[in-house]
Amino acid sequence: MLKKVAVLGGGNGSHTMAADLALKGLEVRICEAPEFKESFAATLERQEITLVEAGSGEKTAKLALATTDFEQAIKGVDYIMMPIPATGHERFFRAIMPYLEDGQTIVSWPGNYASLYFARMLKEEGLKKDVTLAEGHTLPWGCRLEAPGRIKVFVDAWKLLLAALPSKETARVANDLKDYYPVAVASSVLETSLNNLNPIVHPVGTVLNAGAIDNRKEDFHLYRDGTTQSIARAIKAVFEEVSQIGEAVGVKMLEYPEETFWLKSTIMSHYFRAPEDINDTVANIRGPSSMKSRYITEDIPYGLVPVAGLAYSYGIDIPIIDATICLASAINGADYYGEGRSLGELGIAGLKREELDQILRKGS
């Protein structure tokens, strides 16, 4: 059962999750890394967060604690939530590792292969804590910080895939979370990670709009302006490549009906919905404002690169994903294949299907 929760991070997702769970009656602590203290000052000061939700107005959530002290944040909690960018995974997990307690569950939103990554970190440090690593396939909302300590939610997920590592713990975690989120059980943490739609939609959509993004900067809207017929076709091709990998590793992809690819409001899947009166909410999400946006710098190295690793491992051609990674690398003068999350870092390099299944099921 969920009682005491620590939410890590100080961005859109973390503020939303902390406020939402506090408003739902839980004892919630939020913890940002000390190096980001400045942008987190309002929340530290107020010890509360204002949540603005379309349709249901404005509410302020009282927190049990807002801090930059990781030890204080996670001591005695049953759940540790990580609704943070994948670029922060290592930093935050390394910060809490020394203080982890038996029985705790750590959930990443979205996973981006975090459960496998954290399992390998624990193994490497020789930490034999009885913790469960879990993940959702996406963040439960589309949300943005409007001002320090004030966040706006504009779309809700109505189906959230959830899985734990080891997968035998999934049912228990899903049961704990079902009163708070619309969870649906996934077969493994590969199912949640492969179903994250950010890497499927964002990188190729951004690359094929490189000229427009360079020119428009702040005013660019990927969904409204950038998701033209050409881009929708390419996104569909990426989804089909990921689906082939899913099939090879025995993972079911979420339904992505044909028409969804052609609508600016559902291209991020029909599992998100906005209140009817603000139907163009998804389309009107702003950005990316540059080719160094998280749509590239997070979604490629932490999203598409592990996909490419699995493809290579299982002998599957992924020309459109490769194309996206290569062009983004050339544009940004980066080596995303080299920098990105490798199967080695996830502790699943060179495994046969049965060996992979065993790790997902048993956790090692």
Residues within the interface to its own copies (CB under 8 A) = 204-205, 207-215, 225-231, 233-234, 237, 291, 319-320, 322-324, 326-327, 330-331, 333
CB 232 within 8 A of CB 117: no
Per the listing, tokens 């959230």 go with 160
* Smallest distance from its own copies to CB 239, Å: 11
* Smallest distance from its own copies to CB 223, Å: 11
* Smallest distance from its own copies to CB 250, Å: 26
CB 162 within 8 A of CB 186: yes
- 212-221 contacts at long range (C-beta below 8 A, 24 or more positions apart): 213/288, 213/289, 213/290, 213/291, 213/293, 214/290, 214/291, 217/289, 217/290, 218/286, 218/289, 219/286, 220/286, 220/287, 220/288, 220/289, 221/283, 221/284, 221/285, 221/286, 221/287
- Give CA torsion, residues 317, 111, 36, 40, to 10 deg: 130
Terminus-to-terminus CA distance in the chain, angstroms?
25
**Interstrand relation of 79-82 and 105-108 (parallel, antiparallel or unpaired):** parallel
Task: Kindly report the number of other CB atoms within 10 A of residue 76's CB atom.
Answer: 12
Q: Which is nearer to its own copies, 201 or 320 (CB)?
A: 320
Q: Which is nearer to its own copies, 175 or 228 (CB)?
A: 228
Q: Which is nearer to its own copies, 208 or 346 (CB)?
A: 208
* Smallest distance from its own copies to CB 345, Å: 22
Q: Which is nearer to its own copies, 133 or 237 (CB)?
A: 237
Q: Which is nearer to its own copies, 40 or 336 (CB)?
A: 336
Q: Which is nearer to its own copies, 127 or 330 (CB)?
A: 330
